[in-house]
Structure 1
Amino acid sequence: MTHAAQAMTLPAVIEAAVARYADNIAIQDGNTQWSFRQLAEQANFAARAVMAAGVDKGDRVAIWAPNVVEWIVAAIGLQQAGAILVPLNTRLQGSEAADIIDRSGAKLLFTYPQLEKGAVLDLLAQQSLPQLQQIVLLQGDDARATSWGQFLESGETVTAERASARAASISAEDPMDMLFTSGTTGKPKGVLCNHGQNIRVFEQWAATVGLRSDDNYLIINPFFHSFGYKAGWLACLLTGAKILPVLAFDKDKVLAQIAADQVTMLPGAPSLYEMILAHPQRQDYDISSLRLGVTGAAAVPVQLVKDMREQLGFEVVVTAYGLTESCGVVTICRPDDDPETISKTSGRAIDGVEVKCADPATGVEVARGAEGEIWVRGYNVMQGYFDMPEATREAIDSDGWMRTGDIGVMDARGYLTITDRLKDMYIMNGENVYPAEIEKVIYGVEGVAQVAVIGVDKPPQGEVGMAFVVRQPGSDVDEEAIKQACAAQLARYKCPYFVEFIAALPLNASGKVVKPELKKRVAARAAT
């Protein structure tokens, strides 16, 4: 257990980190290099500015930006001011981002000049955001928003004493963040997690993987994900590890940075390690510093685990399983597990958490080795979905068990293998994709009578979307029209990779699409 085990709010974690690691480098990005003391000072300025902006305890503040230093400072600042962090996926369209900003009731938005879909202020210009009071650009200048420098200066109107009192008023039970996860209905749900549970989960996670104060942690995973935020920079604050944020993934730059910054911790999806292993100039880079690898979110071949250890030199390789509703972690392998266990399972429950494979109808645990829905109970289970009491009741029963919607098998040792999903969700490049959202867009295309979207296997992405479309009589709607409609309204990772036109969708007696039949059709074709 690390020093911060008793520090169950983020302000207390920062205080403990400064006390223990004061002048160690906390974060390094380009020309910016701050110690833990300096990072805390920057976050205090940000907290005062957040308060000066009229943000009260419990208010929501959104961040829509890539992995930059200011993201972390803004996040710590707003959390020290008692606000709830709402991170937004950088790949969203303006309308998708506006929906989350509006439904979360965010008063303040921190953002970045340019994201995947274009200039942010242009993307939001046509959107109705009645509750949003201020937009702050973390980098750059634009007359339509407050610059980061101006924002920090505004904090001078709030005394350090007032900011300290606000931070001290936060308890472990207060909400710390609200990450949005799309529901199977296609409507994103805001998942509320509190300070105490987030900190306890990532104390456990960091202790299990063996993250230390002498680690240099290259954070490629986006900060808007639990993986880049909680298992990323929050874990570094808890252990004293050095944060090295990556703005955009480039395999040559990553290899060069591993060598230059003596990177020891490199988590990511299996495709990350496969790219490094396959790199033709890999031998030209000194990657001997690599020590810890944490992967998941896709199948992990046994050979990859062996290659990571033998060819890339990782001492520790583990896989894990979690979901937004569990603060990000449910199960994890242990460093001394054999390659087969690490490859074929997602580990066993983190300490203090119960996991079972249950009959979805009764909640009764099935026999070990049999498939069941994965249910979780413990301190990692979310407080609930924001403003959605009914959805919360559907997810968490009266005994505190949370249904994950995932199907798995547990062995005699308690190790879990994920076999399928009750929900239709599939995972592309580590991103959760919900077909209902895509189907809604395609259904709106003129000439479309019916549509069903499934995930199909396609390395290296893991899974990609395949849309089965039934045309209206006399319609000549084509693949291009479908793909253009999706590109205009959806983030790129949600757009279907394949489009197939069919005469009729397979339906059951109640008229619902039988998606397993579509999956069988694709599998049979792949086999031939």
Structure 2
Amino acid sequence: MEPVPGWGTIPRMLRELVAGHPGALVVAGRDGVRLTLAELFLRAGEVARGLLALGVERGDRVALWGLNTPGWVVSAFAVWDAGAVVVPLSTRYKGLEAAETLRRTGATVLITGERMPGAPPYADLLDAGLRRLARTPDELAELGAVVGERALEERAAEVKASDLCEIMSTSGTTGTPKGVMLDHAQVLRGYWDWSEIVTLREGDRYPVIAPFAHGFGLNAGLLACVMRRATMMPVPVFSPDALMELIAGDGITILAGAPPMFQRLLDELDREPGREVALRVAICGAAAVPPELVRRLLDRVGLERMINAYGLMEGTVVSMTRAGDPVEVIASTTGRPVPGIEVRVVDDEGRDVPVGERGEVLERGYGVMRGYWGEPEKTAEVVDADGWLHTGDVGVLDAAGNLAIVDRKKDLFIVNGFNVSPAEVESLLLREGSLAAAAVIGMPDARRGESGWAYVVPRPGAEVTPESVIAWAKANMSGYKVPARVYVVDALPVNPNGKVDKRELRARAASAG
């Protein structure tokens, strides 16, 4: 593999690419906005000088809240140019969730972007104390007129490879999201290597469907495209009904998504047998992909490459399938560890299990996070003294070193591709006011993969209905966190240790259907 260039930092990477390839088209927005490397550098500089005018210092945290748009891309590079740390906020966040992240990370500025049509501005969802942090990119560019270019270049030059570049929110089992700290060097290397295996290159057209607030959308989308001079096409709101228009109408060559998206593509092509598409690489990060789906994509679409991969926020890119892998390997595993990453599968005592046996996946190498923001104790719980990240995922290694993810040790479930922490949802539900206790479990859902079921105990004298709880949840938390079902009960079952017995709740749920 070609080694990552010696950029060290994202600001230096951008400047070197602009010097050599100023006309490379790296952003093509759905609204017609097109940015070359030179234009991205210019616009990011304008916004970055606005951050300097507000007093943003190297290492300060700057939050970004908005849909995938060219403005989000400009804002991210502006934050990095200013030597600050990107703190993405999910567009699904409601006010309580956003406020918690802003306060936890100590963000000094909130850059707000586009919101769903008809929805109020993001800043309006915050209390007055946090609302004062909000600025749009245009407002920042106007403020930056008083700051000279030399001041910005000096700041950008001060950034070090070991400086944090992003703090990504991730669900856990502690009741609140944790902030994963990643630095410039590790994201540049991780997603340079990812791009090398994917064969992402100049001239590729790559719709970034995953939100920029998610690690995949930000790093394997926004950052990877700029590094490789490919054209990213930010997708603000993805509609499966528009999939063929996106792929065929825009000449897409790279597509990342879950198996249902690719099945939808094949169904559409079956309805139009003569239709051809330019797609050459498909990336499907899933625990298992139906082998027949892989075969049909290779045969019908004429893909050069079908790739399965595994990564996590705390560990960036862990493993990927490679060129020449048979269909069975792509379908049933996530491939071998990427260069610079070690993987072990261990039992509950930390001993390596034999090939073919299940155990917890451990990862070590450059991609392991710098820790959880402000939570050294929680960091020590998952990264041991020898540098091994305990992922909480259950996997199996085969004789060739391919890793299959078969289960999750953590008490998480996944709704439409989003990790959901039961403890976080429980904590949010208790802020509704009428509940004395709440317990949430994940249950299979044919449409969404999994969904949350909540068991709630009312406070004495309170009138609680499933409908009232769900209505409150929809108004105050991200849609994927909202329980699909709510059961009002007199008490929650507990085990001998006095903890809520979720095994019993799952048994009740299974019998309830």
Scaled to the shorter chain, the TM-score interval is over 0.9
| Mean CA deviation greater in 37-46 or 270-279 | 270-279
Find the residue that maps to 2:297 and give its secondary structure: helix
Please tell me whether residue 344 in structure 1 is matched to residue 344 in structure 2. Answer: no
Q: Aligned in 2, Cα 1:277/1:521: closer, same or farther, shift over 3 Å?
A: farther
Find the residue that maps to 1:513 and give its secondary structure: coil
> What are the superposed Cα offsets for residues 448-472 of structure 1, whole Å, 9 maximum, x if unpaired?
5654322122233211112234567
1:257-336 → structure 2 map (5 Å cutoff): 257-279=246-268, 283=272, 286-297=275-286, 299-327=288-316, 329-336=317-324
Whole-angstrom distance in 1 between the partners of 2:70 and 2:115? 16
Whole-angstrom distance in 1 between the partners of 2:386 and 2:98? 35
Find the residue that maps to 2:272 and give its secondary structure: helix
Query: What's the counterpart of residue 144 of structure 1?
Result: none
Whole-angstrom distance in 1 between the partners of 2:461 and 2:79? 56
Whole-angstrom distance in 2 between the partners of 1:153 and 1:357? 53
Aligned 8 A contact 2:243 2:265 in 1:
no
1:116-195 → structure 2 map (5 Å cutoff): 118-124=120-126, 126=127, 128-129=129-130, 134-138=133-137, 148=138, 150-195=139-184
**What is the identity, as a one-letter code, of the residue corresponding to 2:88?**
P
1:116-515 → structure 2 map (5 Å cutoff): 118-124=120-126, 126=127, 128-129=129-130, 134-138=133-137, 148=138, 150-279=139-268, 283=272, 286-297=275-286, 299-327=288-316, 329-360=317-348, 362-443=349-430, 450-469=437-456, 477-500=464-487, 505-515=492-502
Whole-angstrom distance in 2 between the partners of 1:257 and 1:485? 35
Query: What's the counterpart of residue 101 of structure 2?
Result: 100
1:509-528 → structure 2 map (5 Å cutoff): 509-520=496-507, 522=509
> What are the superposed Cα offsets for residues 199-219 of structure 1, whole Å, 9 maximum, x if unpaired?
000011011111111211111
Whole-angstrom distance in 2 between the partners of 1:55 and 1:473? 49
Whole-angstrom distance in 1 between the partners of 2:431 and 2:75? 39
Query: What's the counterpart of residue 89 of structure 1?
Result: 90
> What are the superposed Cα offsets for residues 254-299 of structure 1, whole Å, 9 maximum, x if unpaired?
4223223211011112232233333488528955201111122564
Aligned 8 A contact 2:372 2:379 in 1:
yes
| Mean CA deviation greater in 25-34 or 298-307 | 298-307
> What are the superposed Cα offsets for residues 78-116 of structure 1, whole Å, 9 maximum, x if unpaired?
101110000000001111101101111111111135348
**What is the identity, as a one-letter code, of the residue corresponding to 2:331?**
S
The TM-score with structure 2 as length reference comes to: 0.92
Aligned 8 A contact 1:64 1:110 in 2:
yes
Deviation at 1:478, TM superposition (A): 2.6
Query: What's the counterpart of residue 22 of structure 1?
Result: 22
Whole-angstrom distance in 1 between the partners of 2:271 and 2:287? 24
Deviation at 1:301, TM superposition (A): 2.2
Query: What's the counterpart of residue 145 of structure 1?
Result: none
Percent of pairs with identical residues:
39
Deviation at 1:180, TM superposition (A): 1.2
> What are the superposed Cα offsets for residues 295-352 of structure 1, whole Å, 9 maximum, x if unpaired?
225642223222322334332111111111113x211122322222222222221111
Q: CA RMSD in A?
A: 2.5
Question: Which residues of structure 1 form unaligned runs of 5+?
Answer: 139-147
> What are the superposed Cα offsets for residues 102-145 of structure 1, whole Å, 9 maximum, x if unpaired?
11111111113534864322211x3543xx7532224xxxxxxx
| Mean CA deviation greater in 235-244 or 499-508 | 499-508
Q: Aligned in 2, Cα 1:292/1:80: closer, same or farther, shift over 3 Å?
A: same
Aligned 8 A contact 1:439 1:451 in 2:
yes
What is the aligned residue count?
511
Q: Aligned in 2, Cα 1:345/1:505: closer, same or farther, shift over 3 Å?
A: farther
Whole-angstrom distance in 2 between the partners of 1:501 and 1:154? 53
Aligned 8 A contact 1:271 1:460 in 2:
no
| Mean CA deviation greater in 20-29 or 186-195 | 20-29
> What are the superposed Cα offsets for residues 65-84 of structure 1, whole Å, 9 maximum, x if unpaired?
00010111111011011100
Find the residue that maps to 2:473 and give its secondary structure: helix
Find the residue that maps to 1:373 and give its secondary structure: strand
Whole-angstrom distance in 2 between the partners of 1:242 and 1:285? 27
> What are the superposed Cα offsets for residues 19-67 of structure 1, whole Å, 9 maximum, x if unpaired?
3432121211132222222212222222222212211100000000000
Aligned 8 A contact 2:371 2:379 in 1:
yes
**What is the identity, as a one-letter code, of the residue corresponding to 1:386?**
W
Whole-angstrom distance in 2 between the partners of 1:81 and 1:61? 10
Query: What's the counterpart of residue 141 of structure 1?
Result: none
Whole-angstrom distance in 2 between the partners of 1:3 and 1:322? 20
> What are the superposed Cα offsets for residues 147-172 of structure 1, whole Å, 9 maximum, x if unpaired?
x1x42132222221221111111111
Whole-angstrom distance in 2 between the partners of 1:525 and 1:302? 33
Deviation at 1:2, TM superposition (A): 5.1
Aligned 8 A contact 2:287 2:334 in 1:
no
Q: Aligned in 2, Cα 1:307/1:450: closer, same or farther, shift over 3 Å?
A: farther
Q: Aligned in 2, Cα 1:133/1:51: closer, same or farther, shift over 3 Å?
A: farther
Question: Which residues of structure 2 form unaligned runs of 5+?
Answer: none
Aligned 8 A contact 1:298 1:462 in 2:
no
Find the residue that maps to 1:232 and give its secondary structure: helix
Whole-angstrom distance in 2 between the partners of 1:265 and 1:314? 10
| Mean CA deviation greater in 155-164 or 55-64 | 155-164
Whole-angstrom distance in 1 between the partners of 2:408 and 2:77? 34
Deviation at 1:477, TM superposition (A): 3.2
The TM-score with structure 1 as length reference comes to: 0.90
